[in-house]
Protein backbone atom coordinates (compact mmCIF):
# COMPACT_ATOMS: atom_id res chain seq x y z
CA UNK A 1 0.00 0.00 0.00
CA UNK A 2 1.32 3.42 -1.03
CA UNK A 3 0.32 6.73 0.59
CA UNK A 4 0.26 9.68 -1.77
CA UNK A 5 1.16 13.05 -0.24
CA UNK A 6 -0.31 16.45 -1.02
CA UNK A 7 2.18 17.08 -3.83
CA UNK A 8 4.91 19.63 -4.43
CA UNK A 9 2.78 22.63 -3.44
CA UNK A 10 2.29 21.15 0.00
CA UNK A 11 -1.49 21.49 -0.24
CA UNK A 12 -1.31 25.17 0.60
CA UNK A 13 -2.46 26.63 -2.74
CA UNK A 14 -6.14 26.85 -1.96
CA UNK A 15 -6.02 28.41 1.52
CA UNK A 16 -3.69 31.15 0.25
CA UNK A 17 -6.02 31.88 -2.62
CA UNK A 18 -8.93 32.13 -0.21
CA UNK A 19 -6.95 34.47 2.05
CA UNK A 20 -6.01 36.62 -0.93
CA UNK A 21 -9.65 36.79 -2.05
CA UNK A 22 -10.74 37.69 1.48
CA UNK A 23 -8.10 40.39 1.63
CA UNK A 24 -9.20 41.88 -1.69
CA UNK A 25 -12.83 41.72 -0.64
CA UNK A 26 -12.00 43.47 2.63
CA UNK A 27 -10.05 46.19 0.80
CA UNK A 28 -12.98 46.65 -1.59
CA UNK A 29 -15.41 47.10 1.29
CA UNK A 30 -13.00 49.45 3.03
CA UNK A 31 -12.52 51.55 -0.09
CA UNK A 32 -16.29 51.70 -0.61
CA UNK A 33 -16.80 52.79 2.98
CA UNK A 34 -14.16 55.52 2.67
CA UNK A 35 -15.74 56.82 -0.56
CA UNK A 36 -19.18 56.80 1.04
CA UNK A 37 -17.89 58.76 4.04
CA UNK A 38 -16.15 61.27 1.75
CA UNK A 39 -19.36 61.82 -0.24
CA UNK A 40 -21.33 62.25 3.01
CA UNK A 41 -18.96 64.87 4.40
CA UNK A 42 -18.79 66.69 1.05
CA UNK A 43 -22.60 66.88 1.10
CA UNK A 44 -22.53 68.27 4.63
CA UNK A 45 -20.01 70.93 3.62
CA UNK A 46 -22.03 71.98 0.58
CA UNK A 47 -25.22 72.10 2.64
CA UNK A 48 -23.67 74.31 5.29
CA UNK A 49 -22.19 76.63 2.65
CA UNK A 50 -25.59 77.05 1.00
CA UNK A 51 -27.29 77.61 4.33
CA UNK A 52 -24.87 80.36 5.36
CA UNK A 53 -25.00 82.20 2.02
CA UNK A 54 -26.71 85.61 1.98
CA UNK A 55 -30.27 85.71 0.68
CA UNK A 56 -30.57 87.09 -2.88
CA UNK A 57 -32.85 89.97 -3.80
CA UNK A 58 -31.96 92.40 -1.02
CA UNK A 59 -32.04 96.13 -1.80
CA UNK A 60 -28.91 98.18 -1.70
CA UNK A 61 -28.92 101.98 -1.91
CA UNK A 62 -25.87 104.09 -2.64
CA UNK A 63 -25.84 107.87 -2.52
CA UNK A 64 -23.12 109.74 -4.39
CA UNK A 65 -22.67 113.44 -4.99
CA UNK A 66 -21.23 114.25 -8.38
CA UNK A 67 -19.19 117.42 -8.58
CA UNK A 68 -19.65 119.30 -11.88
CA UNK A 69 -16.57 119.94 -13.98
CA UNK A 70 -15.73 123.55 -14.79
CA UNK A 71 -15.65 124.38 -18.49
CA UNK A 72 -13.36 127.15 -19.69
CA UNK A 73 -15.22 129.82 -21.68
CA UNK A 74 -14.65 129.98 -25.43
CA UNK A 75 -12.56 133.01 -26.48
CA UNK A 76 -13.88 133.29 -30.06
CA UNK A 77 -16.44 135.84 -31.26
CA UNK A 78 -18.96 134.77 -33.86
CA UNK A 79 -20.99 137.28 -35.90
CA UNK A 80 -24.13 136.12 -37.63
CA UNK A 81 -25.78 138.28 -40.33
CA UNK A 82 -29.05 137.53 -41.94
CA UNK A 83 -30.12 138.96 -45.27
CA UNK A 84 -33.49 140.16 -45.55
pLDDT surpassing 60 at residue 13: no
Enumerate the domain spans of the chain: 14-52
More confident residue, 31 or 3: 31
Query: Nearest 5°: phi and psi at 77?
Result: -105, 135
**Neighbour-count burial for 5-39, b at 16+ CB within 10 Å, e otherwise:** eeeeeeeeeeeeeeeeeeeeeeeeeeeeeeeeeee
Least confident of 8-17, 35-44, 59-68, 74-83: 8-17
Looking at residue 15, its pLDDT comes to 64
pLDDT surpassing 60 at residue 7: no
Q: Which of 33, 15, 12 shows the shortest CA–CA distance to 23?
A: 15
pLDDT surpassing 70 at residue 47: yes
Looking at residue 21, its pLDDT comes to 76
Looking at residue 44, its pLDDT comes to 96
Give this prediction's pTM.
0.42
Amino acid sequence: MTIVGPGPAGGRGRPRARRARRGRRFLGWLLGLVLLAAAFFAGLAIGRALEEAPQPGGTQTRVRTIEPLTVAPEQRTVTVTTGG
